[in-house]
Chains A and B, each alone.
Chain A
Amino acid sequence: MKSGKIEGVIAEFENPAALIDAAEKMRDSEYTRFDCHSPFPIHGMDKAMGEKRSVLGWIVAPVAFLMVLVGFLFEGWTSTIAYPLVISGKPLFSYQAYGAVAFALMVLTSAGTALFGMLALNKLPRFHHPVFYSDRFAKVTDDAFFVSIEAKDAKFDEKETVEFLKSIGGREIELLIADD
């Protein structure tokens, strides 16, 4: 066994159904800093883990509303105050014509917020994480299902946690130890 600080533990589960069952048991236990890893999102996992709905929508919506307004005002400002010029007999403040650009700005900024907001909520990019100490864990992006518990969890105990994972059906339980 490698020496070094234990930073967490992972246990493998056979299939999505087993992972869901494990997640439910994790939820009902006192562990909080755990996660269920899978190659694809599993339907019903949020409920099984007791996760709340993502807050991302509440970040994107205000940006969207704000940017429509900004778009309209900016277009109005440039064509009436900053650079008034009559073109094809249209009124300077032709709000009818401003929709397309205001909409494009709104979509652009909200999509950016959705992507970068998602990364921020997931604390990504993060290239260094205890789960990567395990070589087996590489299979999580192929066909393996894992539960991980971080050592920072208040209830974490080297022995007890391993036992607990065993009791909920985990196999190939591995302690995550810094190896470099």
Chain B
Amino acid sequence: MKFDAAAFKLTDLNSVQVRSLGIGVLGLLLTVVGYFTKTEQFFFSYLTAYLFWVSIALGALFLVLLFHLTGTVWGVTLRRILETLMKVLPYMAIFFIPVLLGAHHLYEWSHVDVVAADPILSKKTSYLNITFFAIRTAFYFTVWYLIAAKLYKTSLAMDGGAKPEHIKTLKKVSAPGMIIFALTTTFASFDWIMSLYPHWYSTIFGLYFFSGGLVGTLTLVIVIGLYMNKRGAMDSVITVEHYHDLAKFTFGFIIFWGYMGFSQYLLIWYANIPEETIFYLDRWRGTWPIITMTVVLGHFLIPFVGLLSRNSKRNYTYLKYMSIFILIMHWVDIFWLVIPVLHTSGVRFCIFDFTAMAGIGGIFMWLFWKQLGKHAAVPMGDPKFEESLKHHNP
């Protein structure tokens, strides 16, 4: 990996691309074995991995929208990385096909006989049916694609010199884009995760899924940045000040996530309505408490304490391990959401959980590196770019 500091372009990305692609293809091939040996497990493992990577791409889309709307200065230099992650999102539509094909294994509401025998589920058939499910997902990806493509294109156009129209376009797309993002992400989380328990419902669920994904995005950006810095690339444009701010955001959204998770839990625990408590009861059965507590500790308490001090946000080695840890915890969080539906009696990890992660992740990162190498790795034409480089934390 090399970095042309004058043109802000990354070159020699071959090795990292080949490695990502290799891991991806190998992972997917191994996962396919699961389809033939343990079909149910295969689909659940796949869905977990899929949601992990989609949530990260969605978080990137959110941050790009947020930066444009608020006119954030410090983050401008990181925006191309985020934009590239966001650009991978539409490709994830292709990876949804297995989920759709496996809907029968994943979603109880897809069984017509079960639904017919259940008075509550039969009320929901107009929403929870395979056709509408597929149409909705197609719709989500279409609008995400449209928003992401427009933002990406305009941002690229600024590389050659920013014009006021560019800024205007970005704001004009971002404002309604944010509203569409909020609604589509919410309904996507309802469709893909919440409906795994067709009886269960929680109005906060969309926010919970979104905030977890955002934490994933922020930590992934830290990891990618440090990975490039270590190889001598981009260290002139991503400085300790930017990591400090990324870590602050991570810290903030760890709290935000904890707040959402706790709100949901506290209210369901307190009201004690059977339709709702089922969700937590399933996660407190057999050996599941171990994972539940891991989520509480690892996704909230440890990062909260671990990122509290100023030094912890500015020490590269520490930050790297903390970010990797949080990323793993984000996966555990998704695992905790999805897998108890399959393994009701206790935790069971399966090799396919990991191969699916590597498979989708490898392809995801391959697409990312390929895209990042195509253009300048920072939005160098952005009028706030210079200021962003000089940004200092008091």
Contacts and interface: CB of A to CB of B under 8 A. Distances in A.
A–B direct touch in complex (beta carbons closer than 8 A): yes
Interface of A: 43, 61, 89, 96-97, 99
A52 B266 CA distance: 43
Contacts of B270: 96-97
A61 B305 CA distance: 11
Nearest to A96: B269
Question: Top 8 closest A-B pairs, CB basis?
Answer: A96-B269, A96-B266, A99-B262, A97-B270, A43-B394, A96-B265, A96-B270, A99-B266
B358 to A, nearest CB: 37
Contacts of A61: 308
| Chain B interface residue number, banded | under 10
A1 to B, nearest CB: 43
A43 B394 CA distance: 8
A51 B267 CA distance: 48
A61 B270 CA distance: 31
B276 to A, nearest CB: 14
Contacts of A89: 272
Contacts of B308: 61
A99 B296 CA distance: 14
A5 to B, nearest CB: 40
Interface of B: 262, 265-266, 269-270, 272, 308, 394
10 contacts: A61-B308, A89-B272, A96-B265, A96-B266, A96-B269, A96-B270, A97-B266, A97-B270, A99-B262, A99-B266
A97 B266 CA distance: 8
Contacts of B272: 89
A164 to B, nearest CB: 31
Nearest to B308: A61
A12 B394 CA distance: 26
A97 B394 CA distance: 38
Contacts of A43: 394
Nearest to A53: B310
Nearest to B265: A96
Of the candidates A61, A96, A99, the one having the most CB atoms from chain B within 10 angstroms of its own CB is A96
Nearest to A89: B272
B293 to A, nearest CB: 13
A34 B207 CA distance: 53
Contacts of B266: 96-97, 99
Given A96-B269, A99-B262, 7 more contacts: A43-B394, A61-B308, A89-B272, A96-B266, A96-B270, A97-B266, A99-B266
Nearest to A90: B270
Contacts of A99: 262, 266
Nearest to A64: B308
A66 to B, nearest CB: 14
Nearest to B305: A65
B278 to A, nearest CB: 17
Nearest to B266: A96
A89 B273 CA distance: 13
Contacts of A97: 266, 270
A113 B77 CA distance: 38
A72 to B, nearest CB: 14
A96 B308 CA distance: 23
A161 to B, nearest CB: 32
Contacts of A96: 265-266, 269-270
Contacts of B262: 99
Contacts of B394: 43
A89 B271 CA distance: 11
A58 to B, nearest CB: 10
Nearest to B272: A89
A99 B263 CA distance: 11
Nearest to A61: B308
A61 B312 CA distance: 15
A46 B256 CA distance: 33
A42 to B, nearest CB: 12
A89 B272 CA distance: 10
A99 B259 CA distance: 11
B256 to A, nearest CB: 15
Nearest to B269: A96
A115 to B, nearest CB: 20
B287 to A, nearest CB: 21
B393 to A, nearest CB: 12
A148 to B, nearest CB: 25
A112 to B, nearest CB: 20
A99 B265 CA distance: 12
A80 B269 CA distance: 19
Nearest to B394: A43
A61 B311 CA distance: 15
A97 B272 CA distance: 13
A174 B245 CA distance: 45
A99 B266 CA distance: 10
A110 to B, nearest CB: 13
